[in-house]
Amino acid sequence: MNPIISARGLTKRYGRTLAVDHIDLEIPPGRIVGLIGPNGAGKTTALKAILGLATYDGELSVLGKNPSSQRAALMEDVCFIADVAVLPRWIRVDQLIEITEKLHPGFNRKRCMESLAQTKVTTGQKVKQLSKGMVAQLHLALVMAIDAKLLVLDEPTLGLDIIYRKEFYTNLLTDYFDEDRTILITTHQVEEVEHILTDLVFIQEGKIALEATMEVVQERYVELMAKPEKALEARALHPLYERELFGRHIFLYENVDRQTLQGLGELHTPSVADLFVATMKRGVS
């Protein structure tokens, strides 16, 4: 099965700044991938290269196409949602639907209208009359009506309240995602997407700091809340990261036998957020 995205030595410089540093990455179809990193880590630059919006060095194939030289053909099978503010505020909803229908050959107007019927958005409204949550609903309705193979989400729920954020991802899973589609998400709200992710990619200083499926993450990493009298013993097992919570020491381990840890305290699967912090503290090897 051919990968949706394949990168070898992907590199991008801005003057003397190395924004993306010889990344190797392969994403198969039917996956929901979280591309997560701190500000300035290279996430947006990598996305721009994938979408054909930036030049780059190295090899990059998206849906079997070169994003730089075949962008028009590529975008027939790709949808992109950034911060919802990118929709023009002056346009009416019906005009936006009409433009999308003309521009995208895979757009299904009926499906779009069915999605909008489940919201308070009406076709006669202008984007500037909608709340940010309603704009997100509109944007998602447009995207879900397009038969695309790759959906790229760059902070899609930024600034939305928790109800709209949960609704956004629920609709995405129930009405859009299937085994033939791939979703690539960047977000700072990792706690809200970790339950839907199939794969994790952490990026730091332009390099891949971690790349694994969620199944591998659950097998490889374990968190120990140590008994107070066992903290020194737990520390001697060389954890990746240590933090303190309500006076209890919590240790994060990689590839440590769980039976060795059983008598030292409570074992848990680390959250994506805790694993991210530990990875960033450790740095890129």
User: Residue 108's pLDDT is what?
Assistant: 93
What is the pLDDT at residue 276? 92
Q: Is it the case that residue 285 has pLDDT exceeding 50?
A: no
Q: What is the pLDDT of residue 84?
A: 59
Asked if 17 and 42 count as a contact pair (C-beta separation under 8 A), the reply is no
Which of 9-13, 131-135, 239-243, 263-267 has the lowest average pLDDT? 131-135
CA dihedral 7, 5, 97, 104 (to 10 degrees): 90
221-226 sheet: strands from edge to edge: 241-245, 248-254, 221-226, 265-268
For residue range 127-176, list pLDDT tens digits in order. 999 998 888 889 889 988 988 899 999 888 877 788 888 888 888 888 88
Confidence of residue 283 (pLDDT cuts 50, 70, 90): low
Percent of the chain with pLDDT over 90: 63
Residue 1 has a pLDDT of 74
Q: How many CB atoms lie within 10 A of CB 128?
A: 11
Q: Which two tokens stand for residue 210?
A: 């971690």
pLDDT digits (tens, 9 = 90+) for 79-95: 988 875 678 889 999 99
For 108, residues 6+ apart whose C-beta sits below 8 A from its C-beta are 145, 146, 147
pLDDT at site 189: 79
| SS3 category, 163 | helix
* Mean pLDDT value across residues 6-16: 94
The CATH number of domain 29-48+77-205 is 3.40.50.300: yes
**pTM for the whole structure:** 0.88
